[in-house]
């Protein structure tokens, strides 16, 4: 247990260091993006005077380090600043609502794809080289090869345009919350499922196969244990390890990086907000979104590492993790 606490603390330290470095890199990257936000906002009828007035009003003329300092000291106390566009509207009031939507989308996708891909992965692994295995493997490979903007369009065409089961665009009707409109989540979630299914089911299949061929499973089978018992009680526990790693590694993407899926479906989440921010050069908004995504990635990687150490006694007891 002491070892686990040590791993946790060391991970936490490196997480904080990563965030500090990343926050500066994010700030610099957004800084060197081409174009001028004041010019962008005011358009063609902008005069030099109006551009200068706007730059001054938004504090864009201050030195780089001063602006970074101002930004990061706000971020530390939870103040993400104001959008360049909406004066008097804090980013906190825009962002968290969208993050909430994205979390609901991610959770829905998670609930669909995790059991589905593990189940079919195990099935394929157990029935190795049987027709059912070939079908599952082929399907997994096919969906994995399709990028989400292709599978998404297919889903829209079939389920929204032809069958009319779900809306074409995942827009929230004004004045309604996402809980009244959960049907807008389904198609984006299915689209994510198609991407993840191949990954996870194939990983599950191959680890299942290698576990099923190991000596202790053979011994269990030879001593006359029922097959179901062997598979679920003995094999699955060990075969899940690599799958958990893969799922954990993708959590960051799932909760923060759904830019393509959200933009394609017009889903009102963090990904499409980031897209809007980039399109309109809304620097504070981009910084807030990217920083949040970085945090989600780092934390989910950390949790995966810790879970892995916990599940794998070799790391827990011998210090395999450096």
Partner 1 sequence: MRRTLLVVLLLAIPMMVFAGGDAEKAAPVKQIRVAEQVPGLITPGVWDGQAFSMNSSIYEYLVEINAETGALEPLLATSWETDAGKVWTFKLRQGVTFHDGSVFNAEDVKYTLERTQDPSIGHLKKADFEVMESVRAVDDYTVEITLKEARPTFVYQLTDYSMAILSSDYDYASLGESKPMGTGPYTMSQLVPKESALLKKNPNYWVEGLPKIDQIAIYFVSDIDASISMLESDRVDVVPFVSPEIKQRLDGVDGIKIISPYQEMRFISMRVDEAPFNDNRVRLAFKYAMDPKIIARNVAKMELNDGVFYDESPIMASLAEYKNIPLRGRDVEKAKELLKEAGYPNGLSTELYYASDHPFGKELSQTIKELAAEAGFDIVLKGYTRDIYLSQYWLNVPITLTGWGGRIDPSMLLALAFKGDGPWNESHLDDPVLNDLIEKVSREADPDQRMVYYHEMQEWFFENGPLINVQVPLLVAISDRVVDYKHPLSQLPQYKYMDIL
Binding stretches for partner 1 (CB under 8 A): 34-37, 39-47, 49-54, 57, 83, 85-89, 93-94, 97, 108, 111-112, 115-116, 119, 160, 165-169, 171-175, 180-186, 189, 232, 263, 266, 268, 272-273, 275-276, 279-281
The DSSP 8-state label assigned to residue 90 in this structure reads B
d(CA 37, CA 16) in angstroms, rounded, equals 31
**CB-based contact 254:99 (threshold 8 Å):** no
Smallest distance from partner 1 to CB 7, Å: 31
Q: Which is nearer to partner 1, 90 or 301 (CB)?
A: 90
The Cα–Cα gap between 192 and 112 comes to 10
Nearer CB in complex with partner 1: 172/311 = 172
Q: Are 170 and 217 in contact (CB under 8 A)?
A: no
Shortest spacing between CB 45 and partner 1, in angstroms: 5
| CB of 169 vs partner 1, minimal distance in Å | 5
Torsion, CA 231, CA 234, CA 238, CA 244, rounded to 10: 60
Nearest approach, Cβ of residue 14 and partner 1 (Å): 35
- CB of 289 or CB of 302, closer to partner 1: 289
Pure H helices in 180-235: 183-212, 215-222, 227-229
The set of residues, in sequence order, having a beta carbon less than 8 Å from that of 309 and lying 6+ positions away, is 4, 7, 315, 316, 321
Query: Which of 7/160 has CB closer to partner 1?
Result: 160
Nearer to partner 1, 7 or 292 (CB): 292
Shortest reach from residue 265's CB to partner 1, in Å = 8
């Amino acid at each position: 247990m002491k070892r686990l606490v040590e791993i946790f603390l060391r991970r936490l330290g490196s997480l904080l260091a990563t965030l500090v470095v990343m926050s500066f890199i994010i700030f610099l990257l957004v800084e060197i993006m081409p174009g001028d936000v004041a010019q962008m906002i005011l358009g063609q009828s902008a005069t030099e005077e109006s551009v200068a007035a706007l730059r001054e009003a938004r504090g864009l003329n201050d030195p780089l380090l001063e602006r970074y300092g101002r930004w990061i000291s706000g971020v530390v106390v939870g103040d993400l600043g104001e959008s360049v566009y909406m004066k008097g509207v804090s980013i906190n009031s825009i962002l968290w609502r969208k993050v909430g939507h994205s979390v609901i989308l991610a959770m829905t996708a998670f609930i669909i794809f995790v059991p589905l891909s593990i189940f079919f992965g195990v099935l394929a692994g157990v029935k190795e080289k049987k027709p059912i295995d070939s079908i599952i493997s082929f399907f997994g490979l096919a969906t994995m090869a399709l990028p989400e903007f292709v599978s998404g369009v297919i889903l829209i065409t079939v389920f929204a345009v032809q069958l009319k089961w779900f809306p074409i665009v995942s827009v929230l009707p004004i004045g309604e919350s996402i809980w009244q409109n959960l049907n807008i989540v389904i198609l984006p979630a299915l689209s994510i499922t198609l991407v993840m299914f191949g990954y996870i089911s194939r990983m599950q299949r191959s680890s299942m196969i290698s576990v099923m061929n190991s000596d202790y499973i053979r011994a269990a089978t030879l001593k006359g244990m029922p097959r179901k018992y062997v598979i679920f009680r003995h094999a699955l526990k060990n075969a899940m390890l690599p799958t958990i790693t893969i799922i954990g590694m993708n959590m960051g993407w799932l909760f923060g990086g759904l830019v393509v899926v959200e933009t394609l479906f017009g889903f009102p989440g963090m990904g499409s907000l980031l897209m809007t921010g980039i399109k309109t050069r809304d620097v504070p908004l981009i910084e807030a979104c990217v920083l949040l995504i970085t945090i989600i990635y780092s934390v989910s990687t950390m949790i995966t590492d810790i879970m892995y150490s916990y599940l794998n006694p070799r790391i827990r007891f011998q210090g395999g993790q450096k």
